[in-house]
Amino acid sequence: MSSEVTAGVRSVLRLEGLVVAVVSALMYAKSGFGWGTFTLFFLAPDLSFLGYLAGNRIGALSYNAAHSYIGALACFGLGLAYVSPPLQVAGLIWCAHIGADRALGYGLKHADSFNHTHLGRIGRRAPPPLTTSDIAA
């Protein structure tokens, strides 16, 4: 059984990511914080790539923790509950980042390879394995 989604479902998930990114950015625009703040922190979740220095398993864990809506929505929700505009905008920027990544086809990572995501393979495709007919030719 494949752990990747089919083309139709992948398209829906990517569109969903685009909608999350756009709505998060629109909500951020109403926050009163400047776009410099948005730009500065938009790529912050990608610091989780550093986990790959410790191998694929740790890298996937750190990437997925930073690219799951769980933390982003918890941050936004705490910002609402405690009337903390900085937490609210942090959650919105984080959601916008995740949504943009999903819209571009970057999904949550599997532990076997950085290129293996829940939305399918990313990057260069590995060449197909050699078959006995290839060797005989």
pLDDT tens by residue, 97-111: 999 999 998 988 988
Question: Domain limits at 49?
Answer: 7-117
Residue at 128: amino acid letter: P
Name the pLDDT band for 134 (thresholds 50, 70, 90).
very low
Is residue 135 assigned to a domain? Answer: no
Can you give the pLDDT at residue 112? 87
Is residue 1 assigned to a domain? Answer: no
Burial class of residue 92, CB neighbours in 10 A (0-12, 13-18, 19+): buried
The overall average pLDDT reported for the chain is 88
Is residue 73 assigned to a domain? Answer: yes
Is residue 44 assigned to a domain? Answer: yes
CB 106 within 8 A of CB 128: no
Summarize pLDDT for 71-126 with one digit per residue, the tens: 999 999 999 999 999 999 999 999 999 999 999 989 889 888 878 778 777 776 64
Can you give the pLDDT at residue 23? 98
Is residue 16 assigned to a domain? Answer: yes
Residue 12 has pLDDT above 80, yes or no: yes
Is residue 125 assigned to a domain? Answer: no
Can you give the pLDDT at residue 81? 98
Is residue 94 assigned to a domain? Answer: yes
Residue 31 has pLDDT above 50, yes or no: yes
Give pTM, 2 decimals. 0.84
